[in-house]
Amino acid sequence: NNDDGNAQQVNNNAANEERGVGNEDDNEAANAANNMVVANDINNFDLEDNFGRMVMERIQWPEQDLEMGCRWTMALMNNFATYFQLVLANSFHPVLQRAIGVGSAFEGWSPREQDVVYQVLVPMAPPQGHSFHLEQDTAGQRCMRNFRIRVQLECTCSSEQQGRNMLCFLHHPKEELRTNQDPSLLHTLCTGSHLDVEKTARWFYQLVRAIWPALPQSHNWHLVLLPSRRSCQFQVTNGRESYRIEMLFGVRQGNS
């Protein structure tokens, strides 16, 4: 618009020099051009304002539905947690704690209805005879908060641990351990001495598939497992409603 105004002014000056007359007509034309510029600015502002309003409405549309979806998801996760404790009791797999709602859905917004994913974080604690240690992943220099979980065996020779009929992974003969006790976490979900993300994700899938039929939600909802290498994703539908849920897993750092 500024370029058009400048061009109009140059043309007006040239016309005045050639004609030496018509100043009043030229002023009226300039005023009309200025009015058009102002009108265009107002229209552009209105368009931008309307566009911004539409974006906000699109982002905030599911406030009621999201709240319902979050409640339903957490109820499902609480049921899963109950069976996780039963299934994993006295095992050498990670101890799964109650899920925590994370991500945009639990913050009350989502880009589009069809893209809503209810993400939950399932904190993991080490099983008996093991400890977890967070180590920064030196391979990912760009991502300063990318950590790996190092798994370390701990001595369980104390009388308290012996009362649990558990053999110490560090101080009992390997043959005795192999015959009388399940393998340690290092031999199931780890690669080397670190917890393997993809192995852990596959383990989560196995747990969800095995436990689902025992949950009350399975009577009216249908479970579909979705492919993912680093988390456990699935969709549940009942013919009218559908929720997509992603289970992430991690380890608490300190008191966080």
pLDDT of amino acid 103: 86
Residue 256 covered by a domain: no
Q: Say how far apart CA 21 and CA 26 lie, in whole Å.
A: 9
pLDDT of amino acid 141: 52
- Are 127 and 232 in the same domain? yes
The whole-model pTM stands at 0.70
Instruction: State how many domains the chain has.
Output: 2
Q: Say how far apart CA 2 and CA 36 lie, in whole Å.
A: 11
Q: Report the CATH number that the domain containing residue 102 is assigned in CATH.
A: 3.30.460.90
Tokens of 122: 């399932």
Residue 136 covered by a domain: yes
- Are 119 and 200 in the same domain? yes
Type of residue at 192: G
- Are 189 and 225 in the same domain? yes
Residues 86/207, Cβ–Cβ less than 8 Å: no
- Are 225 and 174 in the same domain? yes
Tokens of 156: 């369980």
Query: Mean pLDDT per 10-residue run, the chain (256 residues)?
Result: 45 45 47 43 48 50 71 97 95 97 86 81 96 82 72 86 78 93 97 97 98 97 97 95 95 71
- Are 39 and 81 in the same domain? no
Domain span at residue 42?
2-60
- Are 184 and 105 in the same domain? yes
Q: What are phi and psi of 205, to 5 degrees?
A: -60, -45
pLDDT of amino acid 10: 41
Residue 233 covered by a domain: yes
pLDDT of amino acid 204: 98
- For residue 233, the cross-strand partners are 226, 246
- Are 155 and 238 in the same domain? yes
- Are 53 and 82 in the same domain? no
Q: Say how far apart CA 57 and CA 63 lie, in whole Å.
A: 10
Residue 23 covered by a domain: yes
pLDDT of amino acid 166: 87
